[in-house]
Amino acid sequence: MNPRITQRIAFTFLFLSTLLILVPVFLILLMIFRDGFQALSWQFLTAYPRLGMRAGGIFPAIVGTVYLVAATLAFSLPVGILAAIYLSEYAKDNWFKRVIEVAIVNLAGVPSVVYGLFGLGLFVIFLKFGASILAGSLTLSIMSLPVIITASREALGTVPLSFREVSLALGATKWQTIRRAVLPNALPGMITGTILALSRAAGETAPILFTVAAFYLPRLPRSIFDQCMALPYHLYVISTQVPNVKLSIQYGTALVLILLVLAMNIVAIVIRAQFRKRKLW
Q: Residue 40 CB, nearest distance to another protein (Å)?
A: 15
CB within 8 A of 165, min separation 6: which ones? Answer: none
Q: Residue 51 CB, nearest distance to another protein (Å)?
A: 20
CA dist 279 and 231 (Å) reads 37
CA dist 200 and 144 (Å) reads 8
Q: How many residues bind another protein (CB under 8 A)?
A: 85
Looking at the Cβ atoms of 70 and 269, the one nearer to another protein is: 269
CB within 8 A of 101, min separation 6: which ones? Answer: 87
CA dist 173 and 206 (Å) reads 45
Q: How far is CA 39 from CA 82, 157, 187, 193, in A?
A: 43, 46, 39, 32
User: Among 177, 185, 194, 250, which residue sits at the site for another protein (rule: CB under 8 A)?
Assistant: 250
CA dist 102 and 104 (Å) reads 5
Q: Is 248 in the site for another protein (CB under 8 A)?
A: no
Q: Is 252 in the site for another protein (CB under 8 A)?
A: no
User: Among 47, 183, 187, 258, which residue sits at the site for another protein (rule: CB under 8 A)?
Assistant: 258
User: Among 43, 46, 55, 90, which residue sits at the site for another protein (rule: CB under 8 A)?
Assistant: 90
User: Among 200, 217, 224, 242, which residue sits at the site for another protein (rule: CB under 8 A)?
Assistant: 200
Give, as one character, the DSSP assignment of residue 216: -
Only segment of 50-58, 102-110, 162-170, 187-195 that touches another protein (CB under 8 A)? 102-110
CB within 8 A of 62, min separation 6: which ones? Answer: 45, 231, 256, 260
Q: Is 205 in the site for another protein (CB under 8 A)?
A: yes
Whole-number CA gyration radius for the chain:
23
Only segment of 44-52, 109-117, 185-193, 273-281 that touches another protein (CB under 8 A)? 109-117
Q: Is 130 in the site for another protein (CB under 8 A)?
A: no
User: Among 52, 111, 157, 184, which residue sits at the site for another protein (rule: CB under 8 A)?
Assistant: 111
Chain residues 17-76 in contact with another protein, contact rule CB under 8 A? 17-18, 20-22, 24-26, 28, 31-32
